[in-house]
Chain A
C-alpha cells in the first residue's frame, strides 16, 4: 500500500496517560501535516513538518502536544497527560512538497479518552 499509513486506527487512553500517533507518508512525499477533527466539527491544521524540521506549528496547542518527523521512521504526534477534550480523530496528510499540490490523507487515528 503506497498511501499514507497511520497507526493505530483506534487508541484508547485514560486521563493523564500519553498518546502516540504514527504516520508514514506516501512514497516520494517528504512533507507531513497533522490535522485534528473534533466531533461534529471541521478539520483543523495542527502542524507541518519536513524531515527533521518543524515548518509550521501554529495550530498546535501550547502545552502537552509535540510532533516530530525524524530522519528515519514515521512522523509522531505525541500528546502527554491526555484529557477528555483530546478525544478526536487525528488525520495525517502528506505531499511531495511543491506548493499548490494537494495533500493526501491517511485513514486517521480515533483517540478516545476515558
Chain B
C-alpha cells in the first residue's frame, strides 16, 4: 500500500462547479498535512495546511480525519486558473514529506 494515495483523476469540471479531492495516508503517526498544487511540471506550491479542526481559505476548504487517516480538499466556484495537479502531502517522521501522486483538475469554460 502506498503511503499517500490519491485518485489521479482527471476531474473535468465546468467553471463554477464545486469539486472535492480525497486522500488517504497509511502512517498513523503522521504529524502534519498539506495540500500543494503543481502546474505543468513547475515547482509545487503550498496551497494550504490541513488542521484537525478543518480550515478554510477563500474558496478552498481542507479537512482532516485522523481516525480514518483521510484528508480532503473542497474547491468551490471553480475558476479556469484552478486547473492544476493537486498534491496531498503528509509529513511523517523527521520532516520528510511524502507526496501523493496527485489529482489532475481541469476546469473548462
B91 to nearest A CB, angstroms? Answer: 6
- What bracket does the count of chain B residues touching chain A fall in? 20 to 34
Is A89 interfacial (CB 8 A cutoff)?
yes
In the assembly, what is the distance between CA of A31 and CA of B31, in Å?
18
Q: A residues touching B (Cβ–Cβ < 8 Å)?
A: 31, 33, 35, 37, 41-45, 48, 55-56, 58-59, 89, 91, 93, 95, 97, 99-108
Contact A41-B98, Cβ < 8 Å, known A89-B41, A102-B34, A107-B43: no
* Nearest 7 interchain pairs by C-beta: A100-B32, A42-B101, A105-B43, A43-B99, A42-B99, A102-B46, A45-B96
In the assembly, what is the distance between CA of A51 and CA of B31, in Å?
24
A51 to nearest B CB, angstroms? Answer: 15
Apart from A45-B96, A102-B49, A103-B97, what 14 extra A-B contacts exist at CB < 8 Å? A43-B44, A43-B87, A48-B94, A48-B95, A56-B94, A58-B96, A99-B32, A99-B95, A100-B31, A100-B32, A101-B32, A103-B46, A105-B44, A107-B42
In the assembly, what is the distance between CA of A59 and CA of B32, in Å?
20
With a cutoff of 8 Å between Cβ atoms, the chain A residues found around residue B59 in the complex are: none
Picked from A41, A97, A100, the residue with its CB within 8 Å of the CB of B91 is A100
Most chain A C-beta atoms within 10 Å of own C-beta, residue among B34, B42, B95, B96 = B95
Contact A42-B102, Cβ < 8 Å, known A91-B43, A102-B49, A108-B43: yes
With a cutoff of 8 Å between Cβ atoms, the chain A residues found around residue B102 in the complex are: 42
Q: B residues touching A (Cβ–Cβ < 8 Å)?
A: 31-32, 34, 41-46, 49, 87, 91, 94-102
Contact A41-B32, Cβ < 8 Å, known A48-B94, A56-B96, A105-B44: no
Residue of A nearest to B33 (CB): A100
Name the prevailing secondary structure of the A interface residues. Answer: strand
A11 to nearest B CB, angstroms? Answer: 15
28 A-B pairs with C-beta separation under 8 A: A31-B95, A33-B95, A33-B96, A33-B97, A35-B97, A37-B41, A42-B87, A42-B99, A42-B100, A43-B44, A44-B99, A45-B96, A45-B98, A48-B94, A48-B95, A56-B95, A91-B43, A91-B44, A95-B95, A97-B95, A99-B31, A99-B95, A100-B31, A100-B32, A101-B32, A104-B46, A105-B44, A105-B45
